[in-house]
Chain A
Amino acid sequence: MTNQAALKQTPLNATHRELGAKMVDFGGWDMPVNYGSQIEEHHAVRSGCGLFDVSHMLPLDIRGANVRAFLRRLVANNVDKLQVSGKALYSCMLNEAGGVIDDLIIYFMDENWFRLVVNAGTAEKDLAWMEKMNADWDMGLTLTPRRDLAMIAIQGPNATQALNEALPGVDSITANLKPFNAAAMGEMFIARTGYTGEDGFEVMVLAKSAPFFWRALMEAGGKPIGLGARDTLRLEAGMNLYGQDMDDTTSPLESGLAWTVDLKTDRDFVGRKALESSEITRQLAGLLLLDKGVLRSHQKIITKHGEGEITSGTFSPTLQQSIALGRIPLGIAPGEVVEVEIRDKKLKAKVVKYPFVRNGKILIA
């Protein structure tokens, strides 16, 4: 099977093993896929509070006098939306062809310090790209990968209560922290963000403190959640997964991410020219399987305007039905029924507006 020695480990690796997690090779990281039942973990996040080790993702501090100018050119969303310290922005970082190098979160702390969080599998590629741009544009910035930090996501309707209980003194922060905002608390960094469609936090702590913090969160009612449920939760919440729903070869405008691309201002950013000169022919759509079965990535979608492909598919524990995101031709509207090829069958699926689930509630008819 996998060569354990070659896999990277988060500061919580031993904790996951003590908790009996099933560990898998996730893009070179030794990560928990579940601690027993993936479906029970999914429901625990929708109804209570779940804990996720997301330390494989990379926090990256960018410091210097020109950070804002750098990010204005580097990413497709507009960092000028960030004017209050702690405010976060979701954005794609594009290549010259308008393909997505990565999707990331940018936290504005002060004019000399922005913190980014990038995906695990793309971290090295991202860092190399940013360093190249830093040099090409003569920005003189310092980019510091923060592998000394662990990151724990605390998600669900009881997330605030669990965090307040596990971390004395944090209640003064959680009481005032709005969604998509962050605050520093000593060495810790507390962001009201997540990847589940529920209220919650992503908290960065020094790696050495992570196991103790994790146990405290468990004592406060947080249940450990593996990457399996992380995927079903984010798909129900209609959130893209890099490498599946978009990558270096796809436009954000054909990936359901037009809302993150700022073309209103005349700001020049990498990939803008390509986006503005290319024709959009496809869209990312939500699908609800009407027949029995499970939608999976790469299955063929057949529509009246041509073929498409499932980018992410799963069984939704909340809907008790299979759901997917798929890239299909333009002109297919929500409510229309398409076919999906599963093995030797063509099954019926309805195109729906996503997200499928938010804050524990089913949003689609």
Chain B
Amino acid sequence: MNIPANLKYTPSHEWVRVEADGTLTVGITHHAQDLLGDMVFIETPATGRTLAKGEECAVVESVKAASDVYAPVAGEVIAANADVEASPESVNKDAYSAWMFTLKPANAADVAGLLDAAAYQKLVESEAH
């Protein structure tokens, strides 16, 4: 299973990278794209939008199904990745470089509530049974 140790995760299958300046880069995990299959449409959130924790903020659609992407913590959208909207298949090629948006967390401490790689791996394994 492809779950990099340097990232944080959510139970709804987003990955989160904590940048040096404290902002968060968010995408969907390798496992999530594997479940969804070939991506054909992605809609990212508008920059400046304020998100509550768990709020639906992006949409990924594979040829098979649509799925929401949720805000891992509360915060403000700083940037959205136009490249991933133009090339949805990049999520299938490398889920961890195909980020969706960056977020400035409302409370830096909220990041501690995210899953680490080991905890996320356990979650994925438990969902497989």
Q: A residues bordering B, Cβ < 8 Å?
A: 1, 33-34, 37-39, 228, 232, 292-294, 296, 314-315, 317, 322, 343
B129 to chain A: closest residue by CB = A1
Residues of the B chain whose Cβ atoms lie less than 8 Å from the Cβ of A317: 63
- Among B41, B127, B128, the residue within 8 A (CB) of A294 is B41
Residue from the set A38, A232, A294, A296 with the largest chain B CB neighbour count within 10 Å: A294
B65 to chain A: closest residue by CB = A296
Q: Show 18 A/B contacts (Cβ-Cβ < 8 Å), sorted by A.
A: A1-B127, A1-B129, A33-B37, A34-B37, A37-B37, A37-B92, A38-B63, A38-B64, A39-B63, A292-B41, A292-B43, A294-B40, A294-B66, A296-B66, A315-B40, A315-B41, A315-B63, A343-B59
- In the complex, A293→B88 CA distance in Å? 12
A37 to chain B: closest residue by CB = B38
B116 at interface (Cβ–Cβ under 8 A)? no
Residues of the B chain whose Cβ atoms lie less than 8 Å from the Cβ of A314: 63
B66 touches A1 (CB 8 A): no
Residue from the set B63, B128, B129 with the largest chain A CB neighbour count within 10 Å: B63
- In the complex, A103→B7 CA distance in Å? 51
Residues of the B chain whose Cβ atoms lie less than 8 Å from the Cβ of A293: 41, 43, 61
Interchain Cβ contacts within 8 Å, total number: 38
B61 touches A315 (CB 8 A): yes
- In the complex, A37→B93 CA distance in Å? 11
Residues of the B chain whose Cβ atoms lie less than 8 Å from the Cβ of A37: 37-38, 92
A226 to chain B: closest residue by CB = B37
- In the complex, A342→B64 CA distance in Å? 16
Residues of the A chain whose Cβ atoms lie less than 8 Å from the Cβ of B63: 38-39, 228, 232, 314-315, 317
Q: Is the interface of B mostly helix, strand, loop or mixed?
A: mixed
- In the complex, A292→B43 CA distance in Å? 9
Residues of the B chain whose Cβ atoms lie less than 8 Å from the Cβ of A38: 37-38, 63-64
- Among A1, A228, A343, the residue within 8 A (CB) of B64 is A228
Residues of the A chain whose Cβ atoms lie less than 8 Å from the Cβ of B64: 33, 38, 228
- In the complex, A292→B59 CA distance in Å? 12
B17 CB, nearest partner CB in chain A, Å: 27
- 10 nearest interchain CB pairs? A315-B40, A39-B38, A294-B61, A315-B63, A38-B38, A294-B41, A38-B63, A38-B37, A37-B38, A293-B41
- In the complex, A39→B92 CA distance in Å? 12
Residues of the B chain whose Cβ atoms lie less than 8 Å from the Cβ of A296: 66
B30 CB, nearest partner CB in chain A, Å: 14
A37 CB, nearest partner CB in chain B, Å: 6
- In the complex, A232→B61 CA distance in Å? 15
- In the complex, A34→B37 CA distance in Å? 9
A13 CB, nearest partner CB in chain B, Å: 19
Residues of the B chain whose Cβ atoms lie less than 8 Å from the Cβ of A315: 40-41, 61, 63
A320 to chain B: closest residue by CB = B40
A321 to chain B: closest residue by CB = B40
B13 CB, nearest partner CB in chain A, Å: 15
Question: B30-42 toward A: CB 8 Å interface, digit per residue (1/0)?
Answer: 0000000110110
- In the complex, A314→B61 CA distance in Å? 10
- In the complex, A322→B41 CA distance in Å? 10
A250 CB, nearest partner CB in chain B, Å: 24
Within 8 A of A (CB), among B43-82: 43, 59, 61, 63-64, 66
- In the complex, A1→B35 CA distance in Å? 13
